[in-house]
Structure 1
Amino acid sequence: MDARETFGGGVAVITGAGAGIGAGLARHANALGMSLVLVDVDAAAIATLRDELVATGGSAVDIVCDVRDPAAMTALAERVYRDVGPVRLLVNNAGVEQFGYLWDTPVQNWNRVMDINVSGVFHGVRAFLPNMIATPSPAWVWNLSSIGGVAAVPLQAPYIISKHAVLALTECLRLEVQLAGHDHIQVQAVLPGAVKSNIFEAAGGVDPAADGADVAAAESTREAMLDIKAAAMDPVEAAEVVFEQAARGEFYLLTQPEYVGSAMAERAEVLRTQTAPQLRTGRRFDPAKH
């Protein structure tokens, strides 16, 4: 089956839908004929996207919700099932970045990354999956990891750690869903490469008032990532690739299969040979080299 046959007519809930790949997934889901529930903390962004999708004849509602809040996520799920309908596709996408040496990272920035990128996925699964299990029709859960989820990268440690964690969470969840016999639920991991978003502009940095904090290292990494963004993939094009892979039943959904796949192969080889992490030229991670 193709993506339209698989997903068309269903309800998709997308967190972090206000920008980047979240908005791209929403736009393509709309083109496939899905009804959208756009979730974000940026009320203006998702309201604008809702208006855009409705203007094209689509069905979309926008709901402001912080994925860090488990009670709010539970209330979101209850509202969706009450007012919109059964969820065919849950996309736990909300995420943030962090630049700088790990020892310079403010505690509140560390907590922000973990609470959104990791706990936000957990809260989404915990809030929605029981209802998805209880509904006999096929349903999908996508959790957003990253090419960074299979890499070791300096000066972005909190983000990289969080994306490794999301990948492991998703792999374990897939096994648990299978173990429990819920054959109508598909759990899949999304690993985007470089896709245009505002995640780098909004990323946390280090406190310039902290003694010895290397602000320059953090900000030069931000500049390098913004250079990569300039040549990054369009979010709607990335979404189209992801939806087609998902419809084929693949587990690892890669926006750029060749270079994200090569990063996965490199990671596997590093683990196989037990090779210590090595700095790349210029110290920074460039997805274009994978």
Structure 2
Amino acid sequence: MRPVSPKLAFHKMHGLGNDFVVIDARVQSVTMTEGLARALADRHTGIGCDQLILLEPSDTADIAMRIFNADGSEVEACGNAARCVTQLIGAEAMIETPGGTIYGKSEGGGATLDMGQPRLDWDAIPLAYAMDTLDMPVGWDALENPVAVNVGNPHLVFFVDNADTVDLARLGPIIEHDPLFPDRVNVNVASVEPDGSLKLHVWERGVGLTRACGTGACATMVAAVRRKLVDGETVVRLPGGALSIAWTPGEAIRMTGPAIHVFSAEIDIEMLL
């Protein structure tokens, strides 16, 4: 008879359809590996998510957040996940991430985050060699002259007439894995709408096309302000919904949007591996 395996408790959450499996390692023992993260994220044989979020104790903040993409790779930051974690904790929270500390405040069905200041120098993105990050002299097919921004993780932002017409499913993985980006890169394609909002589609490294990307929305806002396409605050519209993003040069990025707790459950991880 097979012995009973310990259960792993988790929360399923999402921000604008960008969905997460959140595991609190402060209250249960978890040894997270690339393989386990990938198995949990599998939508056919696991729980299913864009990112797996592991919560741990922090010496410098209220909580530490580690982020694993669906392919098992660990990354530095995730804005939608930080809103979900803030909502899970409640009230206000200081969240330590590999990409920096995020300050969150729970507000009704969502949260507002202080995402810190963007990094704009080529070696902070990082790029493989020096170039102007505001008007990069590179291109892939019709996507040319992007803006590079690091908001805890690396982003490339292309402005086009209509973001809906770009075949990002084809171009996204090509750009993500280009040797110009030592840590790979998230690819954002945006257009400025008549009302001043930004329409955005994101190819997320290690995930693929995503319904929403909080750091992508922040990076796109920074790029749009630097290009003088929008003022200091606007709405960024993604396939999963809208985020309010504000940024003034020299200040922190502020993001406001929903965070939804879907359910809590347990899983036998031995069944996955």
Query: Which interval holds the TM-score relative to the shorter structure?
Result: under 0.3
Higher helix share goes to which structure?
Answer: 1
More strand by share: 2
